[in-house]
Amino acid sequence: MQQATVAVLFGGRSSEHEISSATAGGVLGAIDRERYNVIPVGITRDGVFVLEKDDPARFRLDADKLPQVVDNGSRIIWPMPGGPRELRVQRANGSVESLGEVDVVLPILHGLHGEDGTVQGFLDILEIPYAGGGVLDSAICMDKHFMKIALEADGIPTAPGITVRRGRWNAEPGVVRGEVAELSYPVFVKPARAGSSVGVSKAHDESELAEAMAVAYAEDDKVLIERGIVGREIEVAVLEGRGSEPTRAS
């Protein structure tokens, strides 16, 4: 069987850099190397694309020291649109070598500049296939405010909530507090465009609201406040079918 070449893209500029790196460690350890040739591409906190070592242990999740991508001097050279999907690397000494043609990219990125449609648009421009949602899907799903609008428009109930921009909170905190009280406590306060529970707090009463807002605004200038819902948490994976095959849900 001819091996397909998979570029695993991870790290990134968001506050979830370490979580992305740890996720990539799990992916690198799970890929069947008899079926796939793997190219680990890390993105540093400064947004530099580097060639990483194909070593899952280097990115294993360790509570004492979370993994991250560091600048090792290499630079990934992406292909031009319309031509061969050949990925190249410039080494720290200036030499350039081919890594082969990429069949698909796995964007194992969390947060902004990864889950929000930006890297998906980048790969679309380069005409390189990738796993996961496209630009619009990713952008809507990343923004909790617009995701709620999309779900409610399709008749899917969501937790009662309000979206508060930083400027409004600074200008009329009393009005916002009143609107939150109408939701009834406890409430969850979360940045609209962050993931992995980053910046999320539970405010049990009004005395905890200001601190929760400050934590959320440290991640985003748009904050979603939702009434706490008691119930089971159920995660569902959805995989689009190939060609005429139906979509599957777990």
Q: What is the pLDDT of residue 1?
A: 63
Q: How confident is the model at residue 160 (pLDDT cuts 50, 70, 90)?
A: very high
* Beta-strand pair 36-43/4-11: parallel
pLDDT tens per residue across span 165-185: 999 999 999 999 999 999 999
- Work out the angle at residue 86's Cα, subtended by the Cα atoms of residues 85 and 88, and round it to the nearest 5 degrees: 140
Q: Within 10 Å of residue 143's Cβ, how many Cβ atoms?
A: 20
Q: What is the pLDDT of residue 64?
A: 79
Is the distance from CB of 129 to CB of 105 less than 8 angstroms?
yes
Q: Does 195 score more than 90 pLDDT?
A: no
Q: What is the pLDDT of residue 230?
A: 92
Q: What is the pLDDT of residue 111?
A: 87
* Average pLDDT score over the chain: 94
Q: What is the pLDDT of residue 15?
A: 87
Distance CA 155, CA 176 (A): 27
Distance CA 21, CA 60 (A): 8
Burial class (CB in 10 A: 0-12, 13-18, 19+), 120: buried
pLDDT tens per residue across span 21-68: 999 999 999 999 999 999 999 999 999 999 999 999 999 887 778 899
Q: Which domains does the chain have, with CATH numbers?
A: 4-142 (3.40.50.20), 161-227 (3.30.1490.20)
Is the distance from CB of 22 to CB of 56 less than 8 angstroms?
no
Q: In what order do the strands lie in the sheet with 187-191?
A: 161-165, 222-227, 187-191, 201-203
Q: How confident is the model at residue 118 (pLDDT cuts 50, 70, 90)?
A: very high
Alpha helices in the chain (DSSP H): 17-30, 118-126, 135-142, 144-153, 166-171, 173-183, 209-217
Q: Does 154 score more than 70 pLDDT?
A: yes
Give the contacts of 132 (CB within 8 A, at least 6 positions apart). Answer: 107, 120, 138
